[in-house]
Amino acid sequence: MNSDLNLRQNSLPRLFIGADQPKVAAPPQVAAAPQVPLSSPDITEAEIDAVTAVLRTPHLSFGPELRDFEAALAAYHSVPDAVAVSSGTAGLHLALLTLGIGEGDEVIVPSFAFVAVANAILQVCAMPVFAEIDPVTLNLDPAAVERAVSPRTRALLVVHTFGVPAEMDTLQAIARRHSLFIIEDACEAIGAEYQGKRAGSFGDLAVFGFYPNKQITTGEGGAVLARDPVYAKHLRSLRNQGRSEIGEWLDLVETGYNYRLSELACALGRVQLSRIGEILALRRASAERYDALLKGIAGLELPPLILPHRIISWFVYVVRLPEEVDRDQVQAALARRGIASGRYFDPIRLQPAWRTYSGAGAATLHLTESIARCTLALPFFNRITMSQQEEVTAALGEAIDTGRAF
Ligand SMILES: Cc1ncc(COP(=O)(O)O)c(C=O)c1O
How is the chain split into domains, by residue range? 45-274, 277-405
Closest residue to atom 7 of ligand 1, CA basis: 88
Shortest CA distance to 396 belongs to which of 331, 344, 302, 342? 331
Shortest CA distance to 41 belongs to which of 217, 187, 188, 271? 217
Closest residue to atom 8 of ligand 1, CA basis: 88
Shortest CA distance to 43 belongs to which of 221, 341, 266, 279? 279
pLDDT of residue 7: 30
Beta strand 127-131 pairing with 106-110: parallel
pLDDT of residue 25: 53
Is 214 an active-site residue? yes
* Contact present, 279 and 382 (Cβ < 8 Å): yes
Pocket test for ligand 1, best of 109, 114, 123, 184 (most atoms within 8 A of CB): 114
Closest residue to atom 5 of ligand 1, CA basis: 88
* Contact present, 62 and 191 (Cβ < 8 Å): no
* Contact present, 319 and 376 (Cβ < 8 Å): yes
Q: What is the CATH number of domain 277-405?
A: 3.90.1150.10
Which atom of ligand 1 is nearest to 210's Cα? Answer: 10
pLDDT of residue 31: 64
User: Could you tell me the distance, in angstroms and rounded to a whole number, from the CA of residue 163 to the centre of ligand 1?
Assistant: 12
Which atom of ligand 1 is nearest to 221's Cα? Answer: 10
Q: What b/e readout covers 127-140, taking b as 16+ CB neighbours within 10 angstroms?
A: bbbbbbbbeebbbb
Taking only the tens of pLDDT, the chain with its 406 residues reads 333 333 333 332 222 223 333 344 555 566 677 899 999 999 999 999 999 999 999 999 999 999 999 999 999 999 999 999 999 999 999 999 999 999 999 999 999 999 999 999 999 999 999 999 999 999 999 999 999 999 999 999 999 999 999 999 999 999 999 999 999 999 999 999 999 999 999 999 999 999 999 999 999 999 999 999 999 999 999 999 999 877 777 788 889 999 999 999 999 999 999 999 999 999 999 999 999 999 999 999 999 999 999 999 999 999 999 999 999 999 999 999 999 999 999 999 999 999 888 877 667 899 999 999 999 999 999 999 999 999 999 999 999 999 887 6
The CA angle 316-130-184, to the nearest 5 degrees, is: 55
Which atom of ligand 1 is nearest to 220's Cα? Answer: 10
Pocket test for ligand 1, best of 187, 190, 215, 216 (most atoms within 8 A of CB): 187
Which residue type does 268 have? Answer: L
- Catalytic pick from 23, 197, 214, 295? 214
User: Could you tell me the distance, in angstroms and rounded to a whole number, from the CA of residue 345 to the centre of ligand 1?
Assistant: 12
pLDDT of residue 207: 99
| Furthest-apart CA atoms within the chain: distance in Å | 72
Residues with CB under 6 A from ligand 1: 87-89, 113-114, 116-117, 159, 185, 187-188, 209, 211, 222
Q: Tell me if the bond preceding 69 is cis, omega within 30° of 0.
A: no
Pocket test for ligand 1, best of 184, 188, 346 (most atoms within 8 A of CB): 188
User: Model pTM greater than 0.85?
Assistant: yes
pLDDT of residue 12: 28
User: Could you tell me the distance, in angstroms and rounded to a whole number, from the CA of residue 347 to the centre of ligand 1?
Assistant: 15
The CA angle 265-271-273, to the nearest 5 degrees, is: 95
45-274: CATH class: alpha beta
